[in-house]
Structure 1
């Protein structure tokens, strides 16, 4: 059962609209961003070029989002120091390092060395995002559940909003994630992932869309898959864009919203239109016009058809309200040791 505290609730309020929708612009990409900027020669993209691109992204998209998702290496502190992130816009910071360890059929996410839950809190973030690679039948599933549980517990101890993102992968050798074979199982994998992970202490679930529009065109079947995801998730949930084209993501946002999603955390689907432009000034223009327009249109869809996060979180909100008495502060934050 979902549980909220004062600090977690404040973080959730900071990354959502006043009416309760989570409409985040995701820009926490790292290693993959080098490949996107220079597919022919990713190693030629230096660190400052990554920072520059992220700062342009943040300036263009933050005004049209309820919050942003940044990474600790090239985005979060830089966005604050340069003023690229407006002070009134909430932000999440990624906890994991880019990539994964383990084999293709037993992928494992790991926390970025030198980074921690406590440091995310200390820098003033609204919350953290932990990405895990998860398939319920993978040999690594138990270890990934343990990681989620550990991070969620650390967030509970210091009252920090915890968002978990789950990325699926095929466990059968020779099957790719983009294949029709995996597409046939994807809905079940995403739903079972929600069943496994959302009871472990997270506050928001960042889920994959439980379908693949390349192979499944029936909107009713896709809607039912999203309804299954909604029933499976014990916390408010949003969908991620997985790099699909904007037009497909807009369809996914509407279907997910109709099933109970509280928004999205949108990355490449919104801003990859600007990647081909190498001139920085012209690229900024594309980000501020096309990418920002994409985000604004998605927000209209999510708010028209979706469900505010506080509806799914109502029992937790009511329980928190009952705890707030004139002497609530006396026992607040008495269990803050990190383990």
Structure 2
């Protein structure tokens, strides 16, 4: 009953990393072959693998027989030509087509600032409602990945953002846990940046005490309103992520995996 999924649906960023490591221009073949290698070697240790339809489907055939398949439905990144980090779907895919391609469930990633204008957030809410309805129609589990941000703070790793992150994350979770979105599993950030929590802060300033941070995890648990949720690593080190999961457990968080 625990989700231990391997997320390898990165696209543009992964292509750049592979090109840099090989010291040559990025190409389509490298990213496909990389995903196939990851899938064939690592899915024996995972309950599911998250892949993208653009480069990842060949890797799905390489996965372990007991490993489920999550497929991404969003275009990578977001619209940079207008405010609001608006999402978009892969134009030549639908939930029906992803199901036909062998997907066991659908994943959609959304950037969301709870304090941004209502005009922007209403559009995002309607966007998610459509995907939820599509998943219901095809009887496909809907995993919604939520990424918080602040429209006025560029660096989400900064101390400035760390101060507002608990509010941003937990209010966002509360919104999309509502029945109207038909979300089966929420994929969420932990509600605090542990780099600024007492005892975990290293050389950084302490913004939250351990007790305050534990309370933010408890608030998040309540905000999910019983919708199962899993934690994303948000690019932190494996060691810090593992310590954070222990911290979440200490807080009584009922997270269902990672």
Q: Distance in 2 between matches of 1:30 and 1:97?
A: 9
Unaligned runs of 5+ in 2: 199-208
Tell me by how many angstroms 1:105 deviates.
Answer: 5.3
The gaps in structure 1 that reach 5 residues or longer are 1-19, 265-339
Whether 1:188 aligns to 2:161 is no
Structure 2: distance between partners of 1:253 and 1:116: 34
Counterpart mapping for 1:1-339 below 5 A: 20-39=1-20, 44-75=25-56, 77-81=57-61, 84-102=62-80, 106-139=84-117, 140-172=120-152, 175-199=154-178, 200-217=181-198, 218-234=209-225, 235-257=227-249, 258-264=252-258
**Alpha-carbon contact 1:35-1:41 (below 8 Å) kept:** no
State the Cα distance separating 1:151 from its structure 2 match.
Answer: 0.3
Would the aligned equivalents of 2:7 and 2:49 in 1 still touch at CA under 8 Å? yes
RMSD: 1.9
Q: Distance in 2 between matches of 1:229 and 1:263?
A: 15
Deviation of residue 94 (structure 1)?
A: 0.2
Deviation at 1:57, TM superposition (A): 1.2
Does structure 1 retain, via aligned residues, the 8 Å contact 2:37–2:59? no
CA separation of 1:168 and 1:247: change in aligned 2, threshold 3 A: same
Q: Which has the larger radius of gyration?
A: 1
Shift in Å at residue 179 of structure 1? 1.2
Distance 1:42 1:123, change over 3 A: farther
TM-score (norm 2): 0.87
Does the 8 Å contact 1:190/1:208 carry over to 2?
yes
Q: Describe the superposition over 1:243-265 as per-residue Cα deviations: whole angstroms up to 9, x where unpaired.
A: 1111111112222344111110x
Check 1:239–1:158 CA distance in 2 against 1; reply closer, same or farther (3 A cut).
Answer: same
How many residue pairs get aligned? The number is 241
Rounded to whole Å, the distance in 1 between the matches of 2:75 and 2:23 is: 18
Offset, 1:114: 0.6
- Give TM-score scaled by structure 1 length: 0.67
Deviation track 1:2-50 (CA, whole Å, cap 9, x = no partner) reads xxxxxxxxxxxxxxxxxx1111110000011123324489981211110
How much has 1:103 moved relative to structure 2? 5.7
Whose RCO is larger (CA < 8 A, sep 6+)? 1
Return structure 1 stretches of 4+ with deviation > 6 angstroms: 40-43
- Which is helix-richer, 1 or 2? 1
